[in-house]
Amino acid sequence: MTVITYGKSTFAGNAKTRRHERRRKLAMERDTICNIIDSIFGCDAP
């Protein structure tokens, strides 16, 4: 059976911190993919 704990979260960060980390990781992945596509087509990255 699952233990429900009230009060402090088990994760140190709040929702804003988690969202920021997730979006930063997605932005880095997007930049990597864009750089790969630019190198394939011979375009200069902006």
SS3 category, 1: coil
Distance set, CA 33 to CA 28, 36, 42, 44, 45 (Å):
9, 5, 14, 14, 12
> Is a pLDDT exceeding 60 seen at residue 19?
yes
pTM of the model: 0.57
Strand extents, DSSP E, 1-46: none
Tens digit of each residue's pLDDT (9 = 90 or more) over 29-41: 999 999 999 999 9
Whether 26 contacts 19, CB under 8 Å: no
* DSSP-assigned letter for residue 10: S
In this prediction, residue 11 carries a pLDDT of 64
